Amino acid sequence: MPGKNLSREEARDRAAIIRVESYRVHLDVSAAADPGRPTFRSTTRISFDCAEPGATSFADLLAPEVVSVELNGLALDPAEVFDGARVTLPVLAAHNELTVVAECAYSRTGEGLHRFVDPADGETYLYTHYEPADARRVFANFEQPDLKAPFTFTVTAPAAWDVYANAVQERITDEGAARTWEFAPTRPISTYLTAVVAGPYHVVRDHYTRELPDGTRLEIPLAATCRRSLAPHFDADEILTVTKQGLDFFHQEFDYPYPFGKYDQCFVPEYNIGAMENPGCVTFREEFVFRSKVTEAAYESRANVILHEMAHMWFGDLVTMKWWDDLWLKESFADFMGSYAQIGAGTRYRSAWITFANRRKAWAYRQDQFPTTHPITADIRDLEDAKLNFDGITYAKGASVLKQLVAYVGRDAFFEGARAYFRKHAFGNTVLTDLLDALEETSGRDLRAWSAAWLQTSGVNTLTPELVHDAEGRITELAVRQDGTPLRPHRIAVGLYDLAEDGALLRTDRYELDVAGERTVVAAAAGRPVPALVLVNDDDLTYCKVRFDERSLETLRTGLGGLADEAGPDAPSLARALAWSAVWNLTRDGLMPTRDYLDLVLRFAGRESDVGVLQSLHQQADSALAVYADPARRAEYATALAECALRELSQAAPGSDHQLAWARFLADTAERADHLQLLRGLLDGTGRIDGLTVDQELRWSFWLALASHGRASAEELAAELERDNTAGGRRQRAQCLAALPTPEAKAAAWAAVVDSDELPNALVEAEIAGFNRPGQRELTAPYAAPYFEALETVWAERSIEIAMRIVGGFFPRYQTTPETLAATDAWLSTRPDAAPALRRLVLECRDDLARALRAQECDAQ
């Protein structure tokens, strides 16, 4: 296995002979604020046993320079034992002491130890991010999840800084301009879960206490941190409230005391993902510190992430998958718990399951229809496979299937199984059967068949109602047809809806049943008058695509907006969210013309009371317009959507979330001169909408609209940056510049990202987002050929995080033509030996493109 990769077999062989007793890691980042210093000193001492004395093995390390290697008192020549990715360990003894001193590189890609300089005040901030295998960029180790050990971190940092790690600090030693922080040993954890955060972070401290069943008190110090310049926007109270609600809830449900001492939550800059569950030191993307007004959906999403990471303290950190095949064992659970706990813990976010049905599942459906989809329990051959598997299957489909499992075995058996699993496997590693054993024991049900159907196969089933009625309009037979391979057992609810006098569509009947095989009759419905709407998978118990019979679809065309739960037509409704999700799937599948979908949005989005659902409608309408619409009709649709946005914006309650959402949607859809002029007026203060605060983030979204239509100059964008000279401002300006409709702007963005690796991850993302704009097809068309030519070089030379962004971001997805499809196929057929992970990404882009072409064809008929 060449280079930086590590195969499952190598990991298995290594785990068979090695048992790690402890790590001691010292990092010297005292000169981190000096941008001329590309590296820091890393010293690792590993004590470990080898079951086969005399055997050879290796440690992992990605470092520009190894200073010294000492094994059992014997100095080894780095030039001989270090190849850039591994340190060969020749002739191991029964017990071994390995010390590796290296110069490791500060990262600009968010992988390893990331260094960031705040443009607002010049301060330097560091944090680590490792999953799946980047701890080896910071210290020598055995980088695989099943070689757990206690870690003792010592960090030498500038005297004015604070340092956070997984455990509490034991002592701080002053050394003039620097201080050395020594942390307590952790409990046994995996390398990818270790963490260090260092810098002049702003911190808010709090405390959680709880009486345990045995009468002792559990004390958990809490901290929440962010960059100093973000402190005025930091609503730590809200974050800590959700944190305490979550700690109450998980203690009550999991009945296993939080095992990692203290709980820090660090909001860090230029973070690649949402958050990471490092025990005792969770890292979050700092965009969760809101510097402008956001909607309640953003707060809900943040609370979801806080609870997701907290669930990992048990699912993932206390009990960890043996290898990345079973990544779902932690991610599916955490994803499920993120929603479940929002309701269960009594947070103020009551729409969790609506959001889950509408947004989270959309991610799963998309991923599960790619040719590259995989079972929830995946086949992960190596680290590149692992990196790509943090996907819609592992997270959202896995969570959906767990929701189905709760419906199948019952809530009590599910949680009793989880409790038994934690007790049995605490600080250990597990595979699928360990979990099934625990759940079978508590539920008394055989879960092997369930697991085979749901966890070990891929693909999504479609459920369609089939209704036959008599001459009097009474149901003769209502059945649910199941399509897709394999057919699966589903626990579902079928809802029947009728129109009330006020036009609302209300549920009159609900039948809960097990669906199995191709066709299942809903016997209880016979004899009832034919309803206006049949909704299969009402209440969203299972994971499937929902279809409608003809009559139901006609009802939705005129009445979707009136679909309501008991709480009334103005309340958020799960049934309505499910209907929106179903019509979106019909559109994506080329079964509903894009114009019909957009017509539903035009008619009913204005009535959608759940702002999260509304915002996903906006996103989907944007996508529909960009890639699913008949190109000949695109301009007409865009105008209609912008007019709709304008109308709703003027009618929304002043200062409301809905008003903000519509303002953003107007910026997304504005193309006509008068609409763009309106945005400009809002920016320069000559225009005003009652209650709408045009704050900094909204200003940037207006500038992006103006820039991409050639109505903003580089000077104006520079002036806006002057006004907002922050990290966020720099990213936004970079995006706006890349979005300018000129060949020069496109060339500059391409060169900055593809031809150079100078930019940090966050600016790479901004440049790509600006480059690839749906309205600029002619300008970006010349880059399709260079894109395919660059792919393999990019994959070989760039870090995987950046390579993934380039491959996905520069794919000519707005060139929705048969020619682009042919070029993609040509690349795939002539590169059978390209890295499998790279081929997977290109195959997924190809599938999106083919789907767009089918949808366009449907819309053109």
- Residues in the site for Zn ion, rule: CB under 5 A? 331, 334
d(CA 213, CA 277): 26
**C-beta of 544: minimal distance to Zn ion in Å?**
24
Find the shortest distance in angstroms from Cβ 253 to Zn ion. 17
Closest CA to 200 of 110, 123, 127: 123
Nearer to Zn ion among residue 334 and residue 564 (C-beta): 334
Could you say which of 131, 277, 309, 720 is catalytic?
309
Q: Is 309 a catalytic residue?
A: yes
Q: Rounded to the nearest whole angstrom, what is the least distance from the CB of residue 739 to Zn ion in the complex?
A: 32
Q: Which is nearer to Zn ion, 334 or 666 (CB)?
A: 334
How, if at all, do strands 151-158 and 178-183 pair?
antiparallel
- Written as six digits, the tokens of 745 are 């702007």
Determine whether 461 is exposed, middle or buried from the number of CB atoms within 10 Å of its CB (0-12, 13-18, 19+).
Answer: middle
For residue 58, which amino acid is it? Answer: F
How many C-beta atoms lie closer than 10 Å to residue 233's C-beta?
12
- For residue 354, the minimal CB distance to Zn ion (Å) is 21
DSSP-assigned letter for residue 626: I
Q: Which two tokens stand for residue 66?
A: 């190894």
* Nearest 10 degrees: Cα torsion 43, 49, 54, 55: -80
Q: What Å distances lie between residue 698 and 123, 291, 667, 674, CA to CA? A: 26, 11, 9, 19
In the beta sheet, which residues pair with residue 44?
25, 100
d(CA 256, CA 415): 12
Alpha carbon distance 167, 264 (integer Å): 10
Q: Is 523 exposed, middle or buried (0-12, 13-18, 19+ CB in 10 A)?
A: exposed
Q: Which two tokens stand for residue 182?
A: 């020594």
How far is it between the farthest Cα atoms of the chain?
93
From the CB of 575, what's the least distance to Zn ion, in Å? 29
| Least separation in angstroms between CB 372 and Zn ion | 21
Q: Which is nearer to Zn ion, 264 or 331 (CB)?
A: 331
Identity of the residue numbered 586:
L
Class of residue 684 by CB neighbours under 10 A (exposed 0-12, middle 13-18, buried 19+):
exposed
Measure the CA–CA gap between 552 and 566, rounded to whole angstroms: 20
Alpha-carbon gap, residue 763 to 278, rounded angstroms = 25
Strands 263-268 and 217-226: parallel
Which of these, 184, 308, 280, 270, lies nearest to 223 by C-alpha position? 280
Q: How far is the CB of 131 from Zn ion (least distance, A)?
A: 9
- In the complex with Zn ion, which residue's Cβ is closer, 116 or 395? 395
Q: What's the closest the beta carbon of residue 277 comes to Zn ion, in angstroms?
A: 6
**Least gap, CB of 249 to Zn ion (angstroms):** 17
Our measurement of the distance from residue 707's CA atom to the centroid of its chain's CA atoms, rounded to an integer in Å, reads: 29
Shortest Cβ 208–Zn ion spacing (Å): 21
Residue 343: its H or E element: helix 328-344
Buried b (16+ CB within 10 A) or exposed e, 124-157: bbbbbbbbbbbbbbbbbbbbbbbbbbbbbbbbbb
Contact assessment for residue 204 and residue 234, using Cβ atoms and an 8 Å cutoff: yes
Tell me the C-alpha distance between 816 and 848, whole Å: 10
Under DSSP, the state recorded for 15 is H
* Catalytic center residues: 309
